[in-house]
Amino acid sequence: MARIVNRYADPPPELRTELRTPRDDIVHELREADGSFSYAGGPFVSYQRTLTDEPDGAVTEVVEYELAVPYFGFVFAPLVRQTLRQPARDKTPWWAPPERLDARAATALGVLAAVGLIVGYLNTLLTQTIAFAADEFGSTDRAQGVSLALVRCGVLLALVIGGIADRRGRRRLIIGLSVAAPIVAATGALSPSLPWLTASQAIARPLAMALGILIAVVAMEEMPAGSRAYAVSLLAMATALGAGACVASLPLADLGVGGWRLVYVVPLLGLLLVPGVSRRLQESRRFEAPHADAGFAGHLGRFWLLAISGMLLNLFVAPASAFQNRYLKNERGFSASRISAFTLLTNTPGGIGIIVGGRLADLRGRRIVGSIALFGGTICTVWFFVAQGWTMWLASAIGAIVGAAAVPALGVYSAELFPTSLRGKANAAITVLALIGSGVGLIAAGAMSDRWDQFAPGMALLALGPMVVCVLVLKLYPETARRELEELNPEDAVAPAP
């Protein structure tokens, strides 16, 4: 329970009036008969504000509250405290969601973000380590590209899991996958060859992908209409933090030829989060609510629009991410420690783009924010593969900031455009088809690198994929900002909005 005490010495009448006006910013206050203010809405487990008129004319304000944000409450606590120290107002602060969250939504978002740490680490694991594993196994760039492509083919498992989630619910699967995915991934530390490593991660990576799909689905089903992109931005930040933990573990590869194997043991620490997740995570309120059993027939247009966009986007994004370490190691002579430092220093600013992109997508709309961010991020990524010296660092940092804004702006669509009974299956199927683009891009980039002995020409050609997606977003994507899921999917109209 946090406590704030503000003492106003002889405040002017305007301030006295403001203090006695119910807040309507991060918290919605209700005036009680005794003049105090209680909780009527906001991300709090409990909340109370009282005013006391002192004999000397001063006014003492006491605010007692408990945030309903598990795991990441320490991030928001100083911001909440600073906001509540100021006199009552009706303007949402810059850091808060555009539409206020209630306690249930805030708790769900905190729990899902914690699971996102596991997802981020596991989805980055093979990409970060394969260059070092390939050195031990004596594998070529082409072999690495094939390995990464084959691992993505295992995502068919995610399609099965998505279908189960639509029939049985999301909660139990999230908990089960949070246990299974790190354990299976850790078996990669025992791999005697690249094919064995590929086989282990062909199971672990789809489990992590399915987990990522389900936490995004639950977030969309729990959030208010005006804060869905904001929620995606926070999940993306948590996932990026998990990926950053993987990158930070990469110097273990410098301990010896087999040092990369230690990076596969680290995700077992994620199992420590599971008991708390199990206690706090509730079943999605929209899954629990009555909803129609819809079929794909009426949603094929939306499905293929998103699937084709995903394929074209991953044609470039997958090899740009997967071969970054190989590029830095072979063409720029970076060590594992220097690669880790480069990635952390240039990718961390991407958090700015994620937060700003999420807020703008909720306030200004998804299409314009998503298309501009995608275009700018692609240009900067190509620049990274061409540049040298400090300009290479600059290109990577700018690309991370600009490109990251597309994540919340476009990441909401796969959940928003499908009804509850299809949301898991549709998201998984889109991911499966999008990974076809990943596989093609990885194989093509690896082959072109072997042929031209550098990555830049191939990456420039593959950049045509996301450029086409920019056009599709502007011309064909619907605008979904501030619209309830039931409005976008009339089949679910019987389900009450949060």
| pLDDT tens series, the chain, 498 aa | 899 999 998 888 888 888 999 999 999 999 999 889 999 999 999 999 999 998 888 999 999 999 999 999 999 999 999 999 987 666 788 889 999 999 999 999 999 999 999 999 999 899 888 888 888 888 877 787 778 778 877 778 888 999 999 999 999 999 999 999 999 999 999 999 999 999 999 999 999 999 999 999 999 999 999 999 999 999 998 998 998 899 889 888 888 888 999 999 999 999 999 999 999 999 999 898 888 787 777 889 999 999 999 999 998 888 888 777 777 877 777 777 788 788 888 888 888 888 899 999 999 889 999 999 999 999 988 888 888 788 888 888 888 899 889 999 999 999 999 999 999 999 889 988 888 888 788 888 878 877 787 777 888 889 999 999 999 999 999 999 989 998 998 888 764 444
Question: 185 and 121 in one domain?
Answer: yes
Which 3-state string (H, E, C) describes the chain?
Answer: CEEEEEEECCCCHHHHHHHCCCCECCCEEEECCCCCEEEEECCEEEEEEEEEECCCCCEEEEEEEEECCCCCHHHHHHHHHHHHHCCCCCCCCCCCCCCCCCHHHHHHHHHHHHHHHHHHHHHHHHHHHHHHHHHHHCCCHHHHHHHHHHHHHCCHHHHHHHHHHHHHCCHHHHHHHHHHHHHHHHHHHHCCCHHHHHHHHHHHHHHHHHHHHHHHHHHHHHCCHHHHHHHHHHHHHHHHHHHHHHHHHHHHHHHCCCHHHHHHCHHHHHHHHHHHHHHHCCCCHHHHCCCCCCCHHHHHHHHHHHHHHHHHHHHHHHHHHHCHHHHHHHCCCCCHHHHHHHHHHHHCCHHHHHHHHHHHHHHHCHHHHHHHHHHHHHHHHHHHHHCCCHHHHHHHHHHHHHHHCHHHHHHCHHHHCCCHHHHHHHHHHHHHHHHHHHHHHHHHHHHHHHHHCCCHHHHHHHCHHHHHHHHHHHHHCCCCCCCCHHHHCHHHCCCCCC
Question: 147 and 34 in one domain?
Answer: no
Question: 426 and 296 in one domain?
Answer: yes
Is residue 28 domain-resident? yes
How many domains does the chain divide into? 2
Question: 291 and 190 in one domain?
Answer: yes
Question: 61 and 200 in one domain?
Answer: no
Question: 107 and 61 in one domain?
Answer: no
Is residue 79 domain-resident? no
Question: 222 and 323 in one domain?
Answer: yes
Question: 287 and 160 in one domain?
Answer: yes
Question: 111 and 29 in one domain?
Answer: no
Q: Residue 348 sits in a domain of what CATH number?
A: 1.20.1250.20
pTM over 0.85: yes
Picking from 10, 44, 67, the residue at the C-terminal end of a domain is 67
Question: 439 and 319 in one domain?
Answer: yes
Question: 197 and 127 in one domain?
Answer: yes
Question: 62 and 107 in one domain?
Answer: no
Is residue 497 domain-resident? no
Picking from 67, 91, 111, the residue at the C-terminal end of a domain is 67
Range of the domain at 143: 103-485
